């Protein structure tokens, strides 16, 4: 009976060792699967972050373009005004005919008003075009990004 118990204990120890080895193997496999899953998660987050950064870059470029056009229009307007002031100032200064001076002053008022309206229209149109582009292009890209993020089962 004693040999039977020793044999039984030996078999149970062997069985325990086999179960322990199997548990260890499953632990190793589980850790490997967790690493793979984590790498897929990181890759998915990187793709989402890249999309966000691309969208931010498009926004910044659009803002830069809008500011450039507005700043350029303002610079051209100031140069135009300086040339206009010089021209009409010289006419006013050197003209001896009072009727011609009066006519030049009226032309100057009309010219200044028209040029101000034109430059204001350029800036307003520029702003409107960028709002439209933001709504159509950038807004749609944001919606696609948000929809992709909210979609169930997406990684």
Confidence of residue 24 (pLDDT cuts 50, 70, 90): very high
Neighbours of 151 (CB within 10 A): 9
Write down the H helix ranges in the chain. 2-94, 98-133, 139-150
CA distance 69 to 7: 92
Tens of pLDDT, residues 25-68: 999 999 999 999 999 888 888 887 888 888 888 888 888 888 99
Question: Which three-class secondary structure state does DSSP give residue 138?
Answer: helix
Tens of pLDDT, residues 94-140: 989 999 999 999 999 999 999 999 999 999 999 998 888 888 877 77
DSSP character at residue 153: T
């Amino acid at each position: 009976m004693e040999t039977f118990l020793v044999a039984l204990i030996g078999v149970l120890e062997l069985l325990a060792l086999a179960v322990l080895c199997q548990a260890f193997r499953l632990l190793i496999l589980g850790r490997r699967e967790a690493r793979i899953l984590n790498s897929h998660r990181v890759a998915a987050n990187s793709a989402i972050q890249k999309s966000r950064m691309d969208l931010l870059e498009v926004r910044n470029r659009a803002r830069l373009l809008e500011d450039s056009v507005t700043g350029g229009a303002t610079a051209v307007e100031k140069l135009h005004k300086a040339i206009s002031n010089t021209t009409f100032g010289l006419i006013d200064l050197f003209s001896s005919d009072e009727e011609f001076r009066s006519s030049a002053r009226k032309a100057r008022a009309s010219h200044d008003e028209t040029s101000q309206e034109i430059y204001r229209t350029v800036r307003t149109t520029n702003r409107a075009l960028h709002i439209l582009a933001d709504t159509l292009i950038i807004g749609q890209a944001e919606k696609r990004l948000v929809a992709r993020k909210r979609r169930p089962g997406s990684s």
